[in-house]
């Protein structure tokens, strides 16, 4: 296939992608992503991954796009933009990252599948890949000319900003088109670094996952005490480093909206729900080990930050959490009770009951911290 044919094919694919709700595409080679591989290994060695597995689990695999499909020659990389969040802070409500407030990945999948279907119709093999630990999506998007990696470690596209989800179609069709080489458009701006509530971006372009709220709500174990208050109303995700980014200013509304989900969560209702109901309702979230106790953990921290301890419904769910079979839930309920002025509940339940079946000492540690405060 000559360059003229490649350009025609690219134009056809781009027109199709945009009609299916995607916003831009680019073409990347399947050569190893060596810079990304070195970065993953170096940051993991420094402990900056914070226990995150995903692409850190196997850097070689995540940076070897040729292995995604037998005979792979090219990757069609696509972006779908979503609207920036509006302020939603209200007492008793938690916020979620805006990319899960609508089914953005569902819309992305639909567009990618349309591209793959067209390539199949032309006799080419094609496989859709997105939100997948087999491919470092931001690195492949940069190679495809779709932006640069900003100081907030996000992909920044000069037209779309960073409010995007990224996906790819790997194909055995060899496609050659000129990709735009975006220079670093951040310049001297450090707004994301300054505004990050935990200092997770102190080293520009490098995320310290140990401090990143978006990761900490997904990480296993106890939520770090030092970041509980600063978590604020964030139940899932954190958008701060994107909200303050000037590249995101002045963008028009998204053309094709994905199906709607709630931008806020009623914490009392969440904590009153059964585990099965929670896992069904929030199955599209990443929840450690697929265990509802992690949702309850996060909800209790946020409840302590945004609720009124004088509210009988709030007191009721905290009391219920203090009696949970999960030591993790009880531990965070202890902290929430103290923050909400509900420490009297400990006497009603009894300290011995609180610390029963506490193999890792989580509940005991929370009680000790309370006493020493």
Catalytic residue among 131, 132, 172, 358: 131
Contact 271, 320 (CB under 8 A): yes
In tens digits, the chain (373 residues) has pLDDT values of 455 488 899 999 999 999 999 999 999 999 999 999 999 999 999 999 999 989 999 999 999 999 999 999 999 999 999 987 765 556 779 999 888 888 899 999 999 999 999 999 999 999 999 999 999 999 999 999 999 999 999 999 999 999 999 999 999 999 988 878 887 889 999 999 999 999 999 998 999 999 999 999 999 999 999 999 999 999 999 999 999 999 999 887 787 777 777 788 999 999 999 999 999 999 889 988 889 999 999 999 999 999 999 999 999 999 999 999 999 999 999 999 999 999 999 999 999 999 999 999 999 999 999 887 6
For residue 100, what pLDDT is reported? Answer: 85
316-324 long-range contacts (CB < 8 A, ≥24 apart) are 316/268, 317/267, 317/268, 317/271, 317/272, 318/342, 318/345, 319/345, 319/348, 319/349, 320/271, 320/272, 321/271, 321/296, 322/346, 322/349, 322/354, 323/349, 323/353, 324/293, 324/296
For residue 250, what pLDDT is reported? Answer: 83
Q: Can you list the positions of beta strands (E) in the chain?
A: 24-29, 74-81, 93-96, 126-130, 148-149, 155-156, 164-171, 234-236, 264-266
Whether 131 is a known active-site residue: answer yes
Query: What pTM did the predictor assign?
Result: 0.92
For residue 304, what pLDDT is reported? Answer: 97
For residue 184, what pLDDT is reported? Answer: 81
Could you give the CA distance from residue 345 to residue 123 in angstroms, rounded to a whole number? 68
Which residues, 6+ apart, have CB-to-CB distance to 350 below 8 Å? none
For residue 263, what pLDDT is reported? Answer: 82
Q: What is the DSSP string of 340-373?
A: TT-THHHHHH-HHHHTTT-TT-HHHHHHHHHHH-
Q: Given the structure tokens 């009696």, which residue do they identify?
A: 323
Could you give the CA distance from residue 203 to residue 245 in angstroms, rounded to a whole number? 16
Backbone angles phi, psi at 21, to 5 degrees: 100, 0
Contact 295, 288 (CB under 8 A): no
For residue 125, what pLDDT is reported? Answer: 98
Could you give the CA distance from residue 370 to residue 112 in angstroms, rounded to a whole number? 51
CATH 3.40.109 fits 3-83+101-171, yes or no: yes
């Amino acid at each position: 296939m000559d360059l003229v044919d490649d350009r025609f094919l690219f134009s056809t694919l781009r027109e199709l992608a945009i009609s299916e709700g995607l916003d831009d595409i680019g073409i990347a080679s399947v050569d190893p992503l060596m810079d990304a591989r070195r970065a993953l290994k170096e940051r993991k060695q420094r402990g900056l991954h914070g226990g995150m597995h995903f692409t850190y689990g196997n850097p070689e695999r995540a940076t070897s796009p040729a292995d995604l499909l037998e005979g792979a020659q090219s990757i069609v990389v696509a972006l779908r933009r979503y609207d920036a969040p509006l302020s939603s802070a209200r007492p008793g409500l938690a916020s979620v990252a805006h990319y899960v407030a609508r089914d953005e990945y569902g819309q992305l999948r639909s567009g990618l599948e349309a591209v793959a279907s067209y390539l199949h119709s032309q006799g080419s093999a094609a496989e859709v890949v997105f939100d997948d630990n087999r491919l470092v999506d931001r690195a492949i998007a940069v190679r495809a000319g779709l932006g640069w990696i900003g100081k907030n470690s996000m992909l920044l596209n000069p037209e779309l900003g960073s409010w995007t989800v990224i996906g790819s179609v790997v194909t055995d069709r060899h496609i050659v088109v000129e990709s735009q080489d975006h220079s670093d458009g951040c310049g001297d701006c450090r707004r994301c670094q300054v505004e990050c509530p935990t200092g997770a971006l102190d080293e520009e372009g490098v995320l310290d996952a140990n401090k990143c709220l978006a990761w900490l709500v997904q990480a296993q174990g106890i939520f770090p005490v030092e970041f509980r208050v600063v978590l604020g109303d964030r139940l899932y995700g954190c958008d701060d480093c994107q909200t303050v980014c000037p590249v995101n200013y002045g963008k028009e509304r998204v053309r094709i909206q994905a199906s709607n989900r709630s931008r806020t969560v009623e914490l009392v209702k969440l904590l009153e729900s059964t585990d099965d109901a929670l896992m069904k309702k929030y199955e599209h979230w990443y929840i450690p080990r697929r265990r509802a106790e992690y949702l309850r953990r996060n909800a209790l921290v946020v409840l302590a930050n945004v609720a009124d301890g004088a509210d009988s419904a709030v007191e009721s769910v905290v009391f219920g959490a203090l009696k949970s079979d999960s030591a993790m839930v009880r531990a965070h309920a202890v902290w929430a009770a103290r923050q909400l002025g509900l420490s009297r509940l400990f006497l009603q339940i009894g300290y011995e009951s609180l610390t029963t079946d506490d193999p890792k000492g989580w509940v005991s540690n929370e009680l000790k911290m309370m006493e020493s405060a």
